[in-house]
Structure 1
Amino acid sequence: MVLHYALLAEAAGGVDGFIVGSELRGLTQVRDGAGAFAFVEALCDLATDVRPIVGPQTKLTYGADWSEYFGYHPADGSGEVHFNLDPLWASEAIDAIGIDNYMPLSDWRDGDAITGNPDGFRLADDAAAMRGQIAAGEGYDWYYASPADRAARLRSPITDGMAGRDWLRPGNYPCENGN
């Protein structure tokens, strides 16, 4: 089916982008008897087959479910973490890491019209405040650790517990500056 769609895209004169699959976590997390992620290997092969059809000008990716971003964590109590999609995203046929994620644009709440919004909104349709909230950091600088924290707007910084460093801060990447 995917190859058929790639051929249709080619017949139509090409496309800017092409996704070889989207949110197939039920398949990308399945391991074979040797512990390999056979479906991910098949996606790599598929991307390699699609690349010459759509050409080098077309951006090619897989749209992972948001939960796939953190790798596969088996529910067997082992504590293992497998970055099962890394071979696909590292494939020479793939141009970008794609993650389907639906982050909130702001933390405006209906009650804020009466009590005030701590992020500076004056009204629900405050364009300036909305622009600020789009880059405010929920999900990459901070998060709500629980529903109670969300209700209280108690924001926790996102850090790398193993390295003790904040995420996404210049100078905090292990490969930067020889760190």
Structure 2
Amino acid sequence: MTNRRFLFLLGSSRHGGNTELLARRAAEQLPADVEQEWISLVDHPLPDFPDLRHDGGYSAPDDPHARRLLDATLAATDLVIASPLYWYSVSGLTKRYLDHWSGWLRLPEADFRGTMAGRTLWGVAAYASHASLAEPLAGTLHHTAAFMKMRFGGVLLGNGTDRGDVLKDGEALTRAKTFFAEEAPPAVFPHQAG
């Protein structure tokens, strides 16, 4: 069996925010032999994603940030999208990263969808008011996993408005202790995205 390799993609515009703190608490529980890579999307800004489906198609990314993110994504057995809740969904940095998947899906040499199928997509998010407002964020990640034929491990949520507040959310910290130990259900494919 292949060793697990977790890629943590931090979608906050700042370092050390509540979402990152919660993700790091959950990651502390991973066995020592599980590889971890942490990439902050603010440190690897992606260009705007152009829709070229009808204008000649896509080529392998020449932008160094896009190349690094593509390679790291393909190398991960477990992909953790750690995005604070922004306007009921993922952050702009995270959305831009996911937008680039549309181009990566069309690179025959990457076999992006085939490679990611069967791997696990997880979410970690901090919110500032009510957990129920994170339903669109969870839906985005769930549908992304379904389209890619990935397993969906769920979303670890924590409450945090001011810096470090999530470390006061006892329920979130308790769930963080076992979050990545939970067995993700098999991938289900209720529909195909367009």
Structure 1 and Structure 2 fold alike (TM over 0.5) = no
| Structure with more helix by fraction | 2
Name the TM tier (shorter chain). Answer: 0.3 to 0.5
For normalisation by structure 2, the TM-score amounts to 0.31
- Which structure has the higher relative contact order (CA within 8 Å, separation 6+)? 2
Which structure has the larger Rg? Answer: 1
| Structure with more strand by fraction | 2
For normalisation by structure 1, the TM-score amounts to 0.33
